[in-house]
């Protein structure tokens, strides 16, 4: 969940450079940060609580050096304190480490290290790794009867220590008196950026160094890279073999990951849906047909995702039922392992994700793979763990999504699921035509007047304590998704219900003035959802209708185009805008919701 970046090259301003890169990851909602600068002789560490975005880098007056690494933390083990912030230095100051992930056996290792005289200053699991590497390095130096830390001894110490760790991680390691950088990965992303003339970056996310290079090499699980004057050497930690890596060119521009003229990433990304839906449709038809053939052939297909992507999986279920008359199993990533018994060799798991790094979805993929199932992914981040694990990847092509609240990735995922459902029914052209028309209508819909209308509605309800969203059919999962969007940025208690479930309990929650959003599609569910809206209105609800036509029961109407089976794609957009404006009216930062991070790489 943390942001990581390192630089090794010719520039002597490595410290400033990594902090500038770290600021690009600020959107992920971090609580503290730190930097380590290594001039080849000694390592200086500076760390603080608070947001990196608020830092004036020049004020730090970091030493000149061409090797540095920085980290922004999202607290898991231990509170938000300066001591718990990374980088962590070992007891004797020989080793400095940055870490993302969780070391499961850290307590047991800590006890052993304390007995050997190591001291600990933080509550983190990372400090255990730091001291373990130091312990291994001290032993290796003794054995080699030398006092200088060579790259070989550092490599040996890192590998010996990592072999003792259980859990998932990404590590960056530096040693005093050595100008090499070691990075290792097991389950947490690390990407190497290749700059000019022997210049390298290592980061958890490409935006951290995208400004400096468009060329990357991906580190896979159980792989390590050592970067020094010889360049970047990749090693398979299981076999000790040297690995040859392909340099890959990134397709998106550095500006794509900037806010531009927009005040927040969230609204920028909402507005980008004018183009991103069209980009999602522009897939190679043969790829969609290949994916559809895999689904049609599978003995049991599972759509898996977490949070919003989990709700998108549920929409997929309705789409496949309605369009392709096909049964799909749907599970949240965290719940999927409970159903492992049903997975067979011929089964198929489709992992739906923006980041491609969500730990629970990745675990589901691992479980399915162990059972011999085929893996497919709908993912935004090329080169992500899910992309690398899947037998077939379909990219959302939505460009970097930086706001914690997923918007453009969500609609791109639904667009692709709709396309896949039509392809499975052998009606791909019909599906494409529908989606192209939908994209054009969304383009017309997303204008300043539309946004102002929704903001005016937000102003009427921004003080409420609770609100509800109802939907039926394909718009039932969208009601659940709408609730997530409202919760995460407005902090208003919001819940989504299937319209038909209201009278089985939730109706008791409605009182005078309770806002209730009704998501209406012009299909076989229309009459019933209007009837549900009438039920809540009769109990005093303030009904906000989102649908293609104004209905008598609506107190407010937000128009969406009438797009048949693409209805969930259009009903979600006004709720995104509503959530954004509620966040602003309630003085919340919509890009960085409290307690949340963009990419949930821990279980
Ligand atoms: C979306 O608004 C949320 N921030 C969250 O539910 C998110 O969709 C979930 O964590 C899954 O992320 P992923 O798409 O990167 O796998």
CA of 119 to the centre of ligand 1 (A): 38
- Residue that finishes a domain, picked among 390, 422, 445: 445
Q: Closest Cα partner for 312 from 442, 438, 413, 403?
A: 413
572 within a domain of the structure (yes/no): yes
- Report the CATH number that the domain containing residue 490 is assigned in CATH: 3.40.50.10490
**Secondary structure in 3-state letters for 567-603:** HHHHHHHHHHHHHHHHHHHCCCCCCCCCCCCCCCCCC
User: Same domain, yes or no, for 192 and 338?
Assistant: no
**Tens-place pLDDT, residues 295-350:** 999 999 999 999 999 999 999 999 999 999 999 999 999 999 999 999 999 999 99
**Tens-place pLDDT, residues 433-491:** 999 999 999 999 999 999 999 999 999 999 999 999 999 999 999 999 999 999 999 99
- When pLDDT is averaged across residues 148-167 and rounded to a whole number, the result is 94
CA distance 175 to 96: 6
CA of 305 to the centre of ligand 1 (A): 8
User: Same domain, yes or no, for 22 and 64?
Assistant: yes
599 within a domain of the structure (yes/no): no
Based on the residue annotation, tell me whether 598 is a catalytic residue of this protein: yes
Structure tokens at 307: 């949070």
The active-site residue out of 112, 116, 598, 603 is: 598
Q: Which residue puts its alpha carbon closest to atom 16 of ligand 1?
A: 353
The residue to mutate among 357, 406, 601, 602, having the most atoms of ligand 1 within 8 angstroms of its beta carbon, is 406
The residue to mutate among 29, 204, 205, 307, having the most atoms of ligand 1 within 8 angstroms of its beta carbon, is 307
- Residue that finishes a domain, picked among 445, 470, 492: 445
Sheet holding 215-218, edge to edge: 43-49, 32-38, 67-73, 3-8, 200-203, 191-194, 215-218, 248-249
pTM summary value:
0.81
User: Same domain, yes or no, for 267 and 227?
Assistant: no
544 SS3 class: strand
Q: Which residue puts its alpha carbon closest to atom 10 of ligand 1?
A: 307
The residue to mutate among 188, 306, 313, having the most atoms of ligand 1 within 8 angstroms of its beta carbon, is 306
Residue ranges around ligand 1 (CB below 6 Å): 306-309, 353-355, 358, 361, 404-406, 484, 488, 599-600
Based on the residue annotation, tell me whether 463 is a catalytic residue of this protein: no
- Chain mean pLDDT for the chain: 93
- The 10 Å CB-count burial string (b at 16+, else e) for 453-481 is bbbebbeebeebeebbbbbbbbbbbbbbb
CA of 396 to the centre of ligand 1 (A): 14
**Tens-place pLDDT, residues 520-538:** 999 999 999 999 999 999 9
Q: Into how many domains does the chain fold?
A: 3
The active-site residue out of 2, 306, 424, 516 is: 2
Q: Which residue puts its alpha carbon closest to atom 6 of ligand 1?
A: 307
pLDDT value at position 27? 64
Cα distances (Å, whole numbers) of residue 590 to 29, 130, 255, 486: 11, 36, 20, 10
597 within a domain of the structure (yes/no): no
- Residue that finishes a domain, picked among 250, 273, 307: 250
The residue segments making up the domain with residue 429 are 259-445
DSSP H/E element including 489: helix 475-490
- Is 87 within 8 Å of 97 (Cβ atoms)? yes
Structure tokens at 140: 């290796």
pLDDT value at position 350? 98
- Listed range (49-58, 96-105, 130-139, 249-258) with the worst mean pLDDT: 249-258
- Report the CATH number that the domain containing residue 242 is assigned in CATH: 3.60.20.10
């Amino acid at each position: 969940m943390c942001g990581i970046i390192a630089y090794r090259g010719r520039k002597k301003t490595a410290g400033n450079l990594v902090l500038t890169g770290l600021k690009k990851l600020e959107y992920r909602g971090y609580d503290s940060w730190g930097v380590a600068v290594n001039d080849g002789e000694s390592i200086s560490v500076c760390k603080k609580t608070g947001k990196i975005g608020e830092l004036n880098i020049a004020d730090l007056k970091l030493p000149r050096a061409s090797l540095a690494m920085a980290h922004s933390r999202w607290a898991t083990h231990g509170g938000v304190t300066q001591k718990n912030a990374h980088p962590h230095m070992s007891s004797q100051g020989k080793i400095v480490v940055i870490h993302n992930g969780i070391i499961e056996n850290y307590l047991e290792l800590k006890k052993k290290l304390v007995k050997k005289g190591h001291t600990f200053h933080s509550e983190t699991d990372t400090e255990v790794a730091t001291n373990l590497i130091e312990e291994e390095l001290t032993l290796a130096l003794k054995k080699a009867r030398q006092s200088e830390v060579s790259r070989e001894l550092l490599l040996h110490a890192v590998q010996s220590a990592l072999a003792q760790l259980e859990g998932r991680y990404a590590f960056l390691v530096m040693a005093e008196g050595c100008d090499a950088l070691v990075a290792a990965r097991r389950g947490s992303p690390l990407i190497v950026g290749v700059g000019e003339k022997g210049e390298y970056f290592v980061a958890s996310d490409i935006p951290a160094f995208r400004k400096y290079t468009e060329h990357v090499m991906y580190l896979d699980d159980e792989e390590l890279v050592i970067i020094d004057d010889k360049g970047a050497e990749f090693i398979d930690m299981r076999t000790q073999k040297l690995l040859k890596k392909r340099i890959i060119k990134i397709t998106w521009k550095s500006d794509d990951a900037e806010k531009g003229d927009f005040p927040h990433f969230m609204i920028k990304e909402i507005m980008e849906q004018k183009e991103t839906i069209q980009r999602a449709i522009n897939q190679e038809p043969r790829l969609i047909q290949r994916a559809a053939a895999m689904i049609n052939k599978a003995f049991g297909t599972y759509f898996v995702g977490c949070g919003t992507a989990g709700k998108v999986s549920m929409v997929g279920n309705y789409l496949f039922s309605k369009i392709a008359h096909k049964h799909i199993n749907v599970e949240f990533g965290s719940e999927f392992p409970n159903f492992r018994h049903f997975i067979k060799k011929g089964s198929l798991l489709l992992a739906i994700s923006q980041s491609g790094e969500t730990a629970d979805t990745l675990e589901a993929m691992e479980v399915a793979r162990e059972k011999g199932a085929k893996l497919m992914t709908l993912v935004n981040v090329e080169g992500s763990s899910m992309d690398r694990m899947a037998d077939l990847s379909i990219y959302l092509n939505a460009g970097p999504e930086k706001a914690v609240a997923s918007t453009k990735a969500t609609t791109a995922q639904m667009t692709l699921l709709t396309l896949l459902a039509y392809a499975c029914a052998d009606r791909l052209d019909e599906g494409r035509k529908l989606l192209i028309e939908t994209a054009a209508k969304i383009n017309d819909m997303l204008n300043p007047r539309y946004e102002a209308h929704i903001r005016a509605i937000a102003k009427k309800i921004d003080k409420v304590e609770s609100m509800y969203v109802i939907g039926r059919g394909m718009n039932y999962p969208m009601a659940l998704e709408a609730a997530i969007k409202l919760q995460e940025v407005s902090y208003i208690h919001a819940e989504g219900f299937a319209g038909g479930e209201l009278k089985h309990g939730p109706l008791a929650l409605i009182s005078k003035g309770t806002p209730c959003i009704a998501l209406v599609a012009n299909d076989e569910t229309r009459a019933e959802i209007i009837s549900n809206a009438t039920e809540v209105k009769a109990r005093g609800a303030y009904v906000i209708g989102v649908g293609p036509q104004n209905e008598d029961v609506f107190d407010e109407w937000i128009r969406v185009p009438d797009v048949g089976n693409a209805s969930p794609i259009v009903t979600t957009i006004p709720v995104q805008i509503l959530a954004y404006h509620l966040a602003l009216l309630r003085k919340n930062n919509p890009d960085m919701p409290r307690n949340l991070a963009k990419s949930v790489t821990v279980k």
